[in-house]
Amino acid sequence: MKNVYLLGATGSIGEQTIDIIQEFPEEFNLIAISGYSSLEKIIEIGSKFNLQLIAVKDEADASVIKAVFPDAKIVFGPSGLSDLAVYNKDDKEGILINALVGMVGLKPTIDAIKIDRDILLANKETLVVGGHLIKELLKIHPVKLYPIDSEHNAIWQIIQGEDTNTIKQLIITASGGPFRDLTRDKLKNVTLDEALNHPNWSMGKKITIDSATMMNKGFEIIEAAYLFDIDIDRIKPIIQEDSIIHSMVEYIDNSIVAQMATPDMKLPIIYAMFYPKRVDSVIEPLDFNKISNINFKEVDYKRYPLLQLAIECYKKGGSNRTVLNAANEAAVSLFLNQKISFLDIESIVKSAVDNHKTVIDPSLEEIYEIDQLTKDSIFKRYNK
């Protein structure tokens, strides 16, 4: 029985993780959760599990939750996320599942690594912004960091038992998002509802918008560079519209191995939770009788400038990834609140990166400072 400490329990990945825990009550014990927005969901989860710690947004929410669960430890704010990540610090079998959205997930991930706690990571922004810090920490802490993102989980499955020195390139598949058939000109008038209507996946709002701009694919390329310690020029995105192939690895003998499954995030979550064991499926099997073809399309970088920008920021190094992510978080939030148009997301992010003076090898404190400054200046300008 493994204890689970779950950041972002009320989100899309968090809820699916809880479903899995409920399906395997002999294997996992949910000990602690965090939730930022929905007190109803937190109360619902708390009524099903015997939670020892609950992390909420602020003091007001904490007092509401304390009244409902007087025996649990209630914490709040960013420090509450860290309290959760290191709760029961001597529990060496326990796992932290990080299903937060945004760079707010970076500090608790670092805190968990420092107490040698294994981590299942959905929160890709952590690696985008702090990949260099995590990489250094993993050299001195015996921590397993397992990816829940479907593409990275696919690559991880594919490279089992292989000599990673024989990898020629990683081929990361992309659905192309809801606007893959529109010209750039047509993107001027797309609505929020259209952007939120992803063709293959049902996900949280922020990652759904990131998929429409393909910033998500840029983030995933950076994520893969850190996770698999591979040169970014050897990571190639390709459009695979149905999301049946979740990624591929090409080896030096020109053999290409793909991982395929019905697009359902429960598979990568469950694979990471049970690794190295495989368990009976909880997802629909692929039915090849219903698939007439699997097609591929080259990615047009001009069509998706944020994908190109993400790769450039990684190559430039230093704090460019911090600014890229911060500006994107701010711009997506403005778009979700209908303060800006879809294409404004690109111009806001690009201008923030263009105007940034790089800090080499930023510390955690510098990252949080640059993040805040970048977001503040964008919100000040557009949030009227």
Q: How far is the CB of 155 from ligand NAD (least distance, A)?
A: 14
What is the sign, positive or negative, of the torsion defined by CA atoms of 343, 349, 354, 355?
positive
Residue number, 283 or 361, with CB nearest to ligand NAD: 283
Q: In 3-state terms, the chain is what percent helix, strand and coil (to 5)?
A: 50, 15, 35
Restricting to residues 37-56, name those near ligand NAD by CB under 6 A: 37
Residue number, 33 or 265, with CB nearest to Mg ion: 265
Helix (H) / strand (E) element for 51: namely none
- CA distance linking residue 347 with residue 354, whole number of Å: 10
DSSP readout, 184-223? HHHHTT--HHHHT--SS----HHHHHHHHHTHHHHHHHHH
- CA distance linking residue 156 with residue 224, whole number of Å: 10
Q: How far is the CB of 101 from Mg ion (least distance, A)?
A: 13
Q: How far is the CB of 121 from ligand NAD (least distance, A)?
A: 8
| CA separation, residue 356 to residues 21, 215, 300, 326, 360 (Å) | 43, 19, 26, 12, 12
- CB distance 7 to 32 below 8 Å: no
* Single residue of 97, 106, 154, 203 touching ligand NAD by CB under 6 A: 203
- CB distance 299 to 218 below 8 Å: no
Q: Which stretch binds Mg ion (CB under 5 A): 148-156, 163-171, 226-234, 257-265?
A: 148-156
**Does 122 engage in binding with ligand NAD (CB under 6 A)?**
yes
Residue number, 265 or 334, with CB nearest to ligand NAD: 265
Q: Which stretch binds ligand NAD (CB under 6 A): 7-15, 129-137, 272-280, 304-312?
A: 7-15
In the complex, residue closest to Mg ion by CB: 149
| Residue type (1 letter), 3 | N
Residue number, 11 or 94, with CB nearest to ligand NAD: 11
Residue number, 43 or 359, with CB nearest to ligand NAD: 43
- 147: number of Cβ within 10 Å: 25
**Does 13 engage in binding with ligand NAD (CB under 6 A)?**
yes
Torsion of the alpha carbons at 368, 370, 372 and 374, rounded to the nearest 10: -150
* Single residue of 52, 123, 157, 173 touching ligand NAD by CB under 6 A: 123
In the complex, residue closest to ligand NAD by CB: 11
**Does 264 engage in binding with Mg ion (CB under 5 A)?**
no
| CA separation, residue 249 to residues 230, 245, 328 (Å) | 12, 11, 29
Restricting to residues 202-221, name those near Mg ion by CB under 5 A: none
**Does 149 engage in binding with ligand NAD (CB under 6 A)?**
yes
Distance from CA of residue 300 to its chain's centroid?
Answer: 23
- CA distance linking residue 76 with residue 252, whole number of Å: 50
Provide the token pair at 308. Answer: 């190109």
Distance from CA of residue 63 to its chain's centroid?
Answer: 30
Looking at the DSSP bridge assignments, the partners of residue 170 are: 235, 249
129 binds, among ligand NAD, Mg ion, none (CB under 5 to 8 A by kind): none
**Does 12 engage in binding with ligand NAD (CB under 6 A)?**
yes
- CA distance linking residue 265 with residue 200, whole number of Å: 11
| Size of site (CB under 6 A) for ligand NAD | 29
Binding mask 78-117 for ligand NAD (x = CB under 6 A): ---x-----------------xxxx-x-------------
Q: How far is the CB of 150 from Mg ion (least distance, A)?
A: 5
Residue with tokens 């992309």: 174
Residue number, 184 or 369, with CB nearest to ligand NAD: 369
* Single residue of 111, 125, 149, 329 touching Mg ion by CB under 5 A: 149
Q: Which stretch binds ligand NAD (CB under 6 A): 202-210, 277-285, 339-347, 361-369?
A: 202-210
203 binds, among Mg ion, ligand NAD, none (CB under 5 to 8 A by kind): ligand NAD
Q: Which stretch binds ligand NAD (CB under 6 A): 199-207, 284-292, 321-329, 335-343?
A: 199-207
Binding site for ligand NAD (CB under 6 A): 8-14, 34-37, 81, 99-102, 104, 122-125, 149-150, 201, 203-204, 206-207, 265
Binding site for Mg ion (CB under 5 A): 149-151
